Amino acid sequence: MKLALNPDVLNAIDPPIAEAHSWIEGREFPADKPLLDLAQGVPSYPPAKEITEHVAERAALFETAQYTGIKGIPELRETLANHVSQRYRGYVAAENILITAGCNQAFCLAIQALARAGDAVMLPVPYYFNHQMWLEMLGIEPIHLPFRHDRAGVPDPKEAAALLTDETKAIVLVSPGNPTGAVYPPAVISEFRDLAAERGIALILDETYRDFLTDEQGPPHDLIQKNHWDETLVQLYSFSKTFSLTGYRIGAVSASARVIDAVAKVMDTVQICTPRISQDAALFGLKHSWPWVAEKRALLAGRENAMKRVFRENDLGYELISAGGYFAYIRHPFELQSAREVARRLADEQNILCLPGSFFGPGQERFLRFAFANIEASDMDELARRLQASAAQAP
């Protein structure tokens, strides 16, 4: 007799990045047409040398091999709280912070603290697929807020209000977006916050890519400036992208002390604490590496601008819907082909690896996600040439 497995896990979608990489497994790419890998959004550069040197020193210490407190190293929590307070021009205390093993874990812990099987959580479409997968595995109903490509990927709070149910425990937003790259205007984020507060539910705001926003004139939103911000907002963050530490798995949750205490119970059961060496790396980065981060922000801004330029200046047959952070969301021109078919053909014929919009929810068959952060600005003209060729050669 076969061992029974959890059907909620079995019925969740398979990891999409692994599927995309399987399309090119075993292939070799010629020098005159190398692979343009736009699939997974990962930093294309190593961490700052100062961070890796610090980690090497810390690795020799016994304390680095030991557990930390469940919520994280006190100094890291305090330093991050001060950084967030300054960045958002509000007040966050160390008691509002819990350090996680990456932003994915931050989301998972927060959801388990806020909702259970039979509850509902709202996800704007296109959603980050790991968010959908986690809800499915827990038996939590995802409420899909329809995609608004006419709003450049920015969801509509009024539509959200009409779709909320009595079982809804949270609204999830990601800005800058994954997969769309859309940067939500502060006014829109505030509307969602007000909606969540009115309904007595959480607004989970994933800001993994906030340190790559090119507009440094003000905070991404004013939610933390409001009194009692933590009664509604649950903010998620990733050191992994900011300091190019994806393999270290290091992120954070910011919320009320009550929510943080609940998240800590889940953390203790799942992992006990985030690895000490990762926390040491993040703490050093927070204290010393912002000039390096500024250089990388400018680098990625150059790649984003180069991508926008080639779409603006050329008739590619493909349409740029939105771009920001690490990603661009693209409308393909083939009405009779699925997004997966188009993505597979780009991989097979043009050596472009990207993700089909269907990985990110219903109604996305006309779209593709490009992780422009993975390639150089100088590669964008070559990308444009290959897209033009694919449009011309389509059956």
Strand partners, 328: 323, 370
Of 244, 273, 288, the domain-final residue: 288
Same domain, residue pair 88 and 163: yes
Give counts: helices (H), strands (E), the chain: 14, 13
Cα–chain center distance at 358: 17
Residue 262 falls inside a structural domain: yes
Residue 199 falls inside a structural domain: yes
Residue 282 falls inside a structural domain: yes
What is residue 227's predicted lDDT score, i.e. its pLDDT? 85
Question: How far is Cα 251 from Cα 103, in angstroms, rounded to an integer?
Answer: 5
| Cα→Cα distances 223→86, 131, 181, Å | 13, 23, 21
Same domain, residue pair 223 and 322: no
| Cα→Cα distances 368→23, 131, 254, 302, 385, Å | 16, 18, 32, 21, 17
Residue 2 falls inside a structural domain: no
Residue 55 falls inside a structural domain: yes
- Residue 252, exposed/middle/buried by CB under 10 A (0-12, 13-18, 19+)? buried
**Residue 167 belongs to a domain with what CATH number?**
3.40.640.10
Full strand arrangement of the beta sheet holding 355-356? 319-324, 327-331, 367-370, 355-356
**How many C-beta atoms lie closer than 10 Å to residue 10's C-beta?**
8
Same domain, residue pair 186 and 298: no
Of 288, 303, 323, the domain-final residue: 288
Same domain, residue pair 85 and 66: yes
Residue 333 falls inside a structural domain: yes
Same domain, residue pair 20 and 102: no
Residue 157 falls inside a structural domain: yes
Residue 244 falls inside a structural domain: yes
Same domain, residue pair 75 and 93: yes
Question: How far is Cα 158 from Cα 172, in angstroms, rounded to an integer?
Answer: 15
Q: Is 369 in contact with 352 (CB distance < 8 Å)?
A: no
Same domain, residue pair 54 and 134: yes
Q: In tens digits, what is the pLDDT along the chain, a chain of 395 residues?
A: 788 899 888 888 888 888 889 999 989 999 999 999 999 888 889 999 999 999 999 999 999 999 999 999 999 999 999 999 999 999 999 999 999 999 999 999 999 999 999 999 999 999 999 999 999 999 999 999 999 888 888 999 999 999 999 999 999 999 999 999 999 999 999 999 999 999 999 999 999 999 999 766 678 999 999 888 999 999 999 999 999 999 999 999 999 999 999 999 999 999 999 999 999 999 999 999 999 999 999 999 999 999 999 999 988 899 999 999 899 999 999 999 999 999 999 999 999 999 999 999 999 999 999 999 989 999 999 999 999 999 887 66
Same domain, residue pair 184 and 233: yes
Q: What angle do CA 235, 239, 240 make, to 5 degrees?
A: 120
The parent domain of residue 379 ranges over: 7-46+292-393
Same domain, residue pair 351 and 257: no
Same domain, residue pair 314 and 197: no
Of 239, 268, 288, the domain-final residue: 288
Question: How far is Cα 254 from Cα 204, in angstroms, rounded to an integer?
Answer: 10
Total domains, the chain: 2
What is residue 41's predicted lDDT score, i.e. its pLDDT? 84
